[in-house]
A and B are shown apart, each in its own frame.
Chain A
Amino acid sequence: MILRRVSLEVPSGSRTALVGPSGAGKTTLLRAIAGLEPIEGGRLDLGGHHLNGVPPHKRRVAFVFQEPRLLPNFDVIDNVAFGLRAAGGRRGERRARAAELLNEVGLAALAGRCVQGLSTGEQQRVALARALCSGPDLLLLDEPLAAVDPNRREGLRRLIVKIQEQRALTTILVTHDRAEAAELGQRVALMLEGRIIQHDEPETLFERPASPAVARFFGTPNLLRGHVIAGLLQVGDLALPVEGADGEAAFVIRPERIRIREQGSLRAEVREAAYLGSHVRLKLHCNQLVLEAHVPSDEAPSVGMEVGVELPEEYLWRLSEATGEPALAEAWDR
């Protein structure tokens, strides 16, 4: 993956989630920061130190990979202490430090165990402790939960947040899961096709996306393109009250903000209804407009019903660029 015009500034002591679909360049960016991928141009700084050309082992940048990458010839505690061993630390000191970290990640009882017997979740905790052992200035986590059993992800998620906050350790975490990005990142950067499209607080990316591509990635497929004339958005035969200046415009609204009523001037037919546990996802056809709405299961209409649709004005978000980014939107569609 080739990265182009990537600009990302991460505040010291913060936790940033780098999110995007597979092949967007997230891992490549992380690897470039760690020095595992060469960079041909640009500048990489960490706390005022220029990192271009610095070999990976001298960058003080720790990396937790998607797979734990533990050394099978070492037991758990020696795996954790590997960084100190590499730095020439004394055996007693490095084992004491590793024991503290194992305690912190909840694996103190497994210190002497061989790593092959551990679950993937436990192995990833060992990898996290190992990354922290040498006291890095920056922690990079590349989809650390991807290989972990879904039932154990919550615990590891909480652990990552706790460890980062206790140390105020600058952390960049890669994920392709937008919910995980919102939960783990104090700020979230969306990458599409080797570029960072928007870098902001999670709520902003969900509620106030910068482009249709961002909206789609963060679960807002409802794009209304039209013209604003005297406070009304004209989309085909529809006229919706909106704020803002007259002219060509594109608005988005999140599926959970759309309200379904029995009555209403905007009528739509329910073409699909998919039960998803926490809600029902509806596909609504309203003339040429197709909308997606999420409603509680006990309020969900049946397929084929005609319902009234309300698009609250306060939740209609006007995109800054009316035409959006078609190429990126298509990429995300793929």
Chain B
Amino acid sequence: MSKRRPFTWPIATTAVALFAFPLAALLVQAFGDEWRYPALLPQRFGLRGIHAAVASGAAGEALTNSAEIALATTALALVLGWPAARALAERRLRRPGPLLLLLALPLLVPTYATGTGLTTWFIQLGLADSVAGLVLAHLTVVLPYVALLLLPAFGPGLRDLEEMAMTTGAGPLRRLIHVSVPASRATVAAAALLGFLVSWSQYGLSLSVGGGIPTLPIVMLPFVRNDPEVAAAIALFFLAPVFLALLAASRAGRRVL
């Protein structure tokens, strides 16, 4: 018989409320065609904000760009973060300090500053205002998160399974596909989700390196002051892939190794 946990419901309700409250505020804002101070709710609901966001065409293009950039950045961060995290977790480096510092550096410096530093080089390399340039720029902040989140994936349990795979004839690639990644599925899913979200919501780097490539944060921000209803409508576009990513990550993470 399972024990009753008296605080489960209040905690769960509070957590849901904390999550739902800003979402509800966003929905009301996105569909509030007429909303005058000091009313708590709009006087009239409608689709003006959605129409404006769709009609401009900017939201659709920004959505595609943001998705492409976030997916590519996440994939690259996983590929590069995996060996980096492994080297750190398995203590293969005699002095891991410099690598840790290198990983943490972009997190300590404001992203706009990092982007400004990169812009000159990117212009000279022909990467400014390009999707590839934005992916590389986003990678500077996404990679540290992904690498640090992947650290717990490596340990004796994974090593044991990989050794087993070696002695049954599995080469490095098959070990990675059939053993290492499935064994650390939950950690990889969490790292991928966070990596995606960091890239998806990136403003400072996108503005400094790829101002000419519209991404959702870039497109949305001017409307925040001028027309909050349109900004809220764009934010709804912003949310959809995030929910999809969250769903995919939680499904992947739930599967037993």
A157 in the interface (beta carbon within 8 A):
no
Contact B169 A57 (CB under 8 A): yes
When the two chains form the complex, which single residue of B160, B161, B165, B168 contacts A131, counting CB atoms closer than 8 Å?
B168
Q: How far is the CB of A46 from chain B (nearest CB, A)?
A: 14
Bound CA span A56–B171, Å: 9
Q: How many residues of A contact B (CB 8 A)?
A: 28
B80 in the interface (beta carbon within 8 A):
no
Q: What is the chain B residue whose CB lies nearest that of A87? A: B169
Beta-carbon contacts under 8 Å, A52-75 to B: 55-58, 60-63, 65, 67, 69, 71-73
Bound CA span A116–B257, Å: 11
A280 in the interface (beta carbon within 8 A):
no
A16 in the interface (beta carbon within 8 A):
no
When the two chains form the complex, which single residue of A62, A71, A72, A73 contacts B167, counting CB atoms closer than 8 Å?
A62
A206 in the interface (beta carbon within 8 A):
no
Contact B167 A86 (CB under 8 A): no
A123 in the interface (beta carbon within 8 A):
no
B211 in the interface (beta carbon within 8 A):
no
Q: Hey, which chain B residues are within 8 Å of A86, CB to CB?
A: 165, 168-171, 174-175, 178
Q: Hey, which chain B residues are within 8 Å of A131, CB to CB?
A: 167-168
When the two chains form the complex, which single residue of B171, B182, B257 contacts A57, counting CB atoms closer than 8 Å?
B171
B25 in the interface (beta carbon within 8 A):
no
A202 in the interface (beta carbon within 8 A):
no
Given contacts A71-B161, A72-B257, A73-B182, contact A36 B169 (CB under 8 A): no
Given contacts A57-B171, A69-B160, A73-B257, contact A82 B166 (CB under 8 A): no
Contact A71 B179 (CB under 8 A): yes
Beta-carbon contacts under 8 Å, B122-173 to A: 160-161, 163-171
**Chain A at the B interface: SS class:** mixed
Q: How far is the CB of A97 from chain B (nearest CB, A)?
A: 13
B256 in the interface (beta carbon within 8 A):
yes
Q: What is the chain A residue whose CB lies nearest that of B182? A: A73
Bound CA span A275–B183, Å: 49
B255 in the interface (beta carbon within 8 A):
yes
Q: What is the chain B residue whose CB lies nearest that of A114? A: B256
Q: Bits for A29-56, please: 1 = Cβ < 8 Å to B, else 0.
A: 0000011100000000000000000011
Q: Hey, which chain A residues are within 8 Å of B166, CB to CB?
A: 34-36, 55-57
Q: Hey, which chain B residues are within 8 Å of A65, CB to CB?
A: 160, 163-164
Contact B168 A83 (CB under 8 A): yes
Q: How far is the CB of B115 from chain A (nearest CB, A)?
A: 41
A130 in the interface (beta carbon within 8 A):
yes
Q: Hey, which chain B residues are within 8 Å of A171, CB to CB?
A: none
Contact A57 B170 (CB under 8 A): yes
Given contacts A69-B161, A72-B256, A73-B256, contact A56 B179 (CB under 8 A): no
Given contacts A82-B178, A85-B178, A86-B178, contact A36 B163 (CB under 8 A): yes
Q: How far is the CB of B161 from chain A (nearest CB, A)?
A: 6
A134 in the interface (beta carbon within 8 A):
yes
Bound CA span A61–B179, Å: 19
Q: What is the chain A residue whose CB lies nearest that of B255? A: A73
Q: Bits for A108-139, please: 1 = Cβ < 8 Å to B, else 0.
A: 00000000100000000000001101100000
Q: How far is the CB of B49 from chain A (nearest CB, A)?
A: 45
Beta-carbon contacts under 8 Å, B190-214 to A: none
Q: Bits for A73-94, please: 1 = Cβ < 8 Å to B, else 0.
A: 1000000001101110000000
Q: Hey, which chain A residues are within 8 Å of B178, CB to CB?
A: 71, 82, 85-86
Bound CA span A319–B212, Å: 89
Bound CA span A116–B170, Å: 23
Q: Hey, which chain A residues are within 8 Å of B169, CB to CB?
A: 57-58, 60, 83, 86-87, 134
Contact B168 A130 (CB under 8 A): yes
Q: Bits for A127-163, please: 1 = Cβ < 8 Å to B, else 0.
A: 0001101100000100000000000000000000000
Q: How far is the CB of A296 from chain B (nearest CB, A)?
A: 46
Bound CA span A117–B167, Å: 24
9 A-B pairs (CB sep. < 8 Å): A57-B169, A60-B169, A62-B167, A65-B160, A67-B160, A71-B179, A73-B256, A86-B175, A133-B168
Starting from the known contacts A69-B160, A73-B182, 10 additional A-B residue pairs (CB-CB under 8 Å) come to A35-B166, A55-B166, A56-B163, A56-B166, A57-B170, A63-B167, A69-B161, A73-B255, A83-B169, A83-B170
